[in-house]
Structure 1
Amino acid sequence: MSVLVDARSGQQVAARRAHATRRWLGRIPYVVLALYAVIGGVGPLLIDYDPVHVSLDDRLLRPGSHLSTGATAWFGTDGVGRDVLAQVVYGARTSVLIGVCTVAVSCLVGVAIGTVAGYFRGWPDMVLARGIDILLAFPAILLTIVIAGAFERSVLVVVVALSATAWISFARVTRSVALSIRERAWVDAARVLGVRPVSILLRHIVPFTAGPVVALATLEFALVVLAEAGLSFLGIGLPNSAVSWGQTIANGKQYLESAWWISALPGIALSLLIINIGILGDQLTARYGRGHLR
């Protein structure tokens, strides 16, 4: 009997240790994303960098080399002598800024349209469905490229181009939530009491979309950052006066054999950000359920 008790207690201790380990591992994405936020917010204040300034005397220096000014290029320099570390730091700020702005715009538009269509149904729901069908007829990245290429390159144009299709996911999620919540007893009671539809939407429906929307926002943030890097890589994203990981990676593609660090280091920074956002998004999706994200 004592042997069974000892075995059971040993299993419980092992289970608690495994649970504690999973909890600590689950916090890694939060730590990494917080680090990126700090680097993107504080880094540009500590590093003096001019993205259009060139120094041909310092071109293609390996990581850890000394510049002509006496400073150290920890990540090396690119083909025109610009510091790759500074480009990574400034690129983090650009990616975080564009990602937050795009997700915010897409979330506001998508939640507003989705809740209205799901609650009122009828012609608002039909118009939303047909509009989504029209937009989905075009590949999202192709529509983004068309919008970004039709105007002069700027941060505003990139945000608008990326938001043109990103709002669809938010609208579909909030629509499904609104369709479910509108049938609940407290919503029927509010309608019977004569509560205005706007108040019903804001007080009784929109709060229930918070969980699924937050989970979706993390996934969309990763897609937005990756799409922005792709646009900048193609040369139709941000202007040359702005620093982007995509631009830095594109600038180093002709030096892959002799100066791998120009493209590799920004690429690693981009990959780490995307991977950790994806892990965080999976955690939030598992917490709030997958049913509304389909």
Structure 2
Amino acid sequence: MAGIATAPEQLTSAPPRARRRLLSRVPFLIVGLYLLVAVLGPPLIGYDPVNTSLEDRLLPPGSETSTGGTAWFGTDGLGRDVLAQIVHGTRTSVLIGVSTVAISCLVGVVLGAVAGYFRSAVDAVLARVFDILLAFPAILLAIVIAGAFDRSVLLVVVALSATGWISFARVTRGVALSIRERPWVDAARVLGVPRRTILLRHVLPFTAGPVVALATLEFALVVLAEAGLSFLGIGLPASTVSWGQTIANGKEYLEPQWWISTLPGIALSLLIINVGILGDQLTARHRRGRTD
């Protein structure tokens, strides 16, 4: 009918600013979809990592299984459904990513705020600790910690948090050093407000913007590091589904059965890329807010 424009026509006819605003929301939608799959996917798609079906091994995507179902993403060398591994691996990655970032953020913000606001010997000691830990590559330290003990989800979180808190501490310290010289902080200090109250009410709230932006970037790095540890066989146990394990299971079939490693790799790449873009958008928004 005349006068009614389709969705593609509306998009192409929209002003450039409106198109940019629409495209900027794509990472939010994709990351939200991953979170939805992590929460609702595993209950809907059952999966037993120990149970194998050799009759269904190496089925291509869309094949019918021996039980009458459909392997939409194919099966691996042991007959396990690849789609179910991706769905359950999404929950594992999100769980480890959120847990690691939460622990790193808590430790880093507390230490960074204390070091930046109180200065003196506390700042000097923590600054030296930052320098010492930064001398060791984060992934190598995580490999050493993960390889020294039995594999578990808790161990992976601890190994990745061992150096993850440093970035949060440095960012928070920089913000605290700047905020402690502001007039309202000086006024509160003159009025006799306890230093703990000044730190909680007048300093820490200003760290929220940069910390949230950093948390999104750290989440992507944690997910990638966890997949790397599981790919090497020193991350999660076999009973816990991981994208890294699924990719490693298909490395022997890369040419004929490409879907075993390729599809989980695409899922991992999409999450990391969109979380990274989301982090860049939050960082740019924070910088614009500071200049306005």
Q: Which residue of 1 aligns with 2:135?
A: 137
In 2: Cα distance, 1:174 partner to 1:24 partner: 32
SS across alignment from 1:289: helix
Kindly report structure 1 stretches of 4+ aligned residues shifted beyond 2 Å: none
Post-superposition offset of 1:192: 1.2
In 1: Cα distance, 2:13 partner to 2:111 partner: 45
Query: What percentage of residue pairs aligned between the two structures are identical?
Result: 76
| 1:63-102 deviation per Cα after TM superposition (whole angstroms, max 9, x unaligned) | 0001100000000000000000000000000000000000
In 2: Cα distance, 1:132 partner to 1:212 partner: 19
SS across alignment from 2:107: helix
In 2: Cα distance, 1:68 partner to 1:198 partner: 65
SS across alignment from 2:228: helix
Q: Which residue of 2 aligns with 1:243?
A: 241
Which of 29, 35, 39 is equivalent to 2:37? 39
Q: Which residue of 1 aligns with 2:104?
A: 106
Counterpart check, 1:280 vs 2:262: no
Residues 65-84 of structure 1 mapped to structure 2, 5 A cutoff: 65-84=63-82
Which of 60, 63, 71 is equivalent to 2:61? 63
Q: State the one-letter code of the partner of 1:270.
A: L
Q: Which residue of 2 aligns with 1:169?
A: 167
Q: Which residue of 1 aligns with 2:226?
A: 228
Q: State the one-letter code of the partner of 2:107.
A: V
In 1: Cα distance, 2:124 partner to 2:287 partner: 26
Q: Which residue of 2 aligns with 1:208?
A: 206
Post-superposition offset of 1:289: 2.0
Which of 247, 250, 253 is equivalent to 2:251? 253
Q: State the one-letter code of the partner of 2:96.
A: I
In 2: Cα distance, 1:215 partner to 1:244 partner: 26
| 1:252-273 deviation per Cα after TM superposition (whole angstroms, max 9, x unaligned) | 0000011100000000000000
In 1: Cα distance, 2:168 partner to 2:253 partner: 41
Post-superposition offset of 1:16: 7.4
| 1:92-134 deviation per Cα after TM superposition (whole angstroms, max 9, x unaligned) | 0000000000000000000000000000111111111110111
Post-superposition offset of 1:44: 0.3
SS across alignment from 2:207: helix
In 2: Cα distance, 1:241 partner to 1:199 partner: 47
In 1: Cα distance, 2:115 partner to 2:56 partner: 58
TM-score when scaled to structure 2?
0.93
SS across alignment from 2:46: coil
Counterpart check, 1:120 vs 2:118: yes
TM-score when scaled to structure 1?
0.93
Gapped regions of structure 1 (runs ≥ 5): 1-13
Residues 171-190 of structure 1 mapped to structure 2, 5 A cutoff: 171-190=169-188
In 2: Cα distance, 1:201 partner to 1:68 partner: 63
Q: State the one-letter code of the partner of 1:220.
A: E
SS across alignment from 1:241: coil
In 2: Cα distance, 1:138 partner to 1:99 partner: 21
Aligned length: 279
In 1: Cα distance, 2:75 partner to 2:65 partner: 9
SS across alignment from 1:114: helix
Counterpart check, 1:86 vs 2:90: no
In 2: Cα distance, 1:47 partner to 1:237 partner: 24
Q: State the one-letter code of the partner of 2:86.
A: V
Q: State the one-letter code of the partner of 2:246.
A: T
Which of 192, 195, 207 is equivalent to 1:194? 192
Q: Which residue of 1 aligns with 2:4?
A: none
Post-superposition offset of 1:159: 0.4
Q: State the one-letter code of the partner of 2:174.
A: S
Post-superposition offset of 1:138: 1.1
Q: State the one-letter code of the partner of 2:92.
A: T
